[in-house]
């Protein structure tokens, strides 16, 4: 698969790349970032996937996430894809920040006009890992996944659907029960249709209710997050895990909001937590 390198910058004795390629899955050009820490030639490294939130691209965490020092310390490759397909011919809802471009919700859409391009589930689960493995020194037997907000929803649901693939799953202020909140109801109904049973595989609480399990789960949520009560509902995840006998680490961080000030504060802890579970 052809890969174009848009930029390369030295950081903490490793290299930060921004790349693009033509995606067969979305039918569009996709851009993502990859940080490769210093390593010996021929060594394969564990990989941590980071999924971004509403309105974001790969650039938000790349510029604000403050993950590189920790990834260099622990020897972890960090990959951050975009949140949706892009391009002039891609359908959009230009006046809606929470739907369309920048709001792919990590689903494979089934409804028109979204179905042709909005296939972020397949892109993140299948196409992008194959591309990364072809061009970077990753060990796909040691993977972790994390994300923020809508990307936290993506990390949780992808992790729950693929427990044998990911040794560790974490999230910052995730949308844990999207089928029961305004952001999720809007996105899932328009991407997937009105059959709520079809939404369950894209809802972390529903997946746990239906039998999915994770051995290693970490969630950080700020108490001053203005989306907590209406959109995120961290308590619903805690209740579902308790009923299922899961023992996640859910940390309510006093005074923190929904921003990258919050994410960057705890990013190094998340990287270290994943490193311990991925054998880094």
Give per-residue pLDDT as tens, 211-247. 999 999 999 999 999 999 999 999 999 999 999 999 9
Contacts of 82 (CB under 8 A, 6+ apart): 30, 31, 32, 52, 57, 58
109 close to 202: Cβ distance less than 8 angstroms: no
| Tokens found for residue 203 | 């809802």
Contacts of 269 (CB under 8 A, 6+ apart): none
C-alpha distances (whole Å) from 278 to each of 91, 212, 268 are 38, 20, 15
122 is catalytic: no
Catalytic residue among 153, 258, 270, 274: 258
pTM of the model: 0.97
| Tokens found for residue 150 | 């809508």
277 close to 169: Cβ distance less than 8 angstroms: no
Q: How many domains does the chain have?
A: 1
- pLDDT on residue 206: 98
CA distance 84 to 117: 9
15 is catalytic: no
Average pLDDT, the chain: 97
15-41 mean pLDDT:
98
CA distance 166 to 50: 13
Contacts of 35 (CB under 8 A, 6+ apart): 11, 14, 15, 16, 17, 67, 68, 71, 77, 78
CA distance 244 to 21: 41
Residue 243 lies in domain: 3-278
| Tens digit of each residue's pLDDT (9 = 90 or more) over 65-120 | 999 999 999 999 999 999 999 999 999 999 999 999 999 999 999 999 999 999 99
Catalytic residue among 149, 168, 170, 173: 149
225 is catalytic: yes
Domain of 112: which CATH number?
3.40.50.1820
| Tens digit of each residue's pLDDT (9 = 90 or more) over 149-194 | 999 999 999 999 999 999 999 999 999 999 999 999 999 999 999 9
Catalytic residue among 92, 203, 220, 225: 225
CA distance 36 to 152: 23
Percent of all residues in the chain with a pLDDT value above 70, rounded to a whole number: 100
Band (199; pLDDT cuts 50, 70, 90): very high
- pLDDT on residue 124: 98
53 close to 174: Cβ distance less than 8 angstroms: no
- Torsional sign, CA 196, 197, 202, 203: positive
- pLDDT on residue 1: 74
3-state secondary structure of 6: strand
Band (280; pLDDT cuts 50, 70, 90): confident
CA 188: distance to chain centroid?
Answer: 17
CA distance 236 to 219: 13
């Amino acid at each position: 698969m052809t890969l174009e390198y848009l930029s390369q910058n030295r950081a903490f004795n490793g290299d930060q790349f921004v790349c693009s390629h033509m995606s067969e899955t979305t039918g569009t050009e996709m851009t993502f970032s990859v940080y490769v820490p210093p390593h010996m030639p021929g060594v394969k490294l564990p990989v941590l996937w980071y999924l971004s939130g509403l309105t974001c691209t790969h650039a938000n965490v790349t510029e604000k996430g403050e993950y590189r020092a920790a990834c260099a310390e622990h020897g972890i490759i960090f990959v951050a894809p975009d949140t949706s397909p892009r391009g002039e011919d891609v359908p959009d809802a230009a006046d809606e920040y929470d739907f369309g471009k920048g709001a792919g919700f990590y689903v494979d859409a089934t409804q028109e006009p979204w179905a042709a391009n909005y296939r972020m589930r397949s892109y993140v689960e299948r196409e992008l890992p194959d591309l990364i493995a072809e061009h970077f020194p990753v060990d796909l037997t040691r993977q972790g996944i994390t994300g923020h907000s809508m990307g936290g929803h993506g990390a949780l649901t992808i992790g729950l659907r693929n427990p044998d693939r990911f040794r560790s799953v974490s999230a910052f202020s995730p949308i844990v029960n999207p089928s029961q909140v305004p952001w999720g109801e809007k996105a899932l109904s328009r991407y997937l249709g009105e059959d709520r049973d079809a939404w369950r595989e894209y809802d972390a609480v529903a997946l746990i209710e239906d039998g999915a399990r994770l051995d290693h789960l970490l969630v950080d949520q700020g108490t001053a997050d203005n989306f907590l009560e209406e959109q995120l509902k961290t308590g619903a995840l805690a209740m579902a895990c308790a009923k299922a006998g899961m023992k996640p680490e859910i940390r309510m961080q006093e005074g923190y909001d929904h921003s990258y000030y919050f994410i960057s504060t705890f990013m190094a802890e998340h990287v270290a937590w994943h490193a311990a579970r991925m054998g880094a």
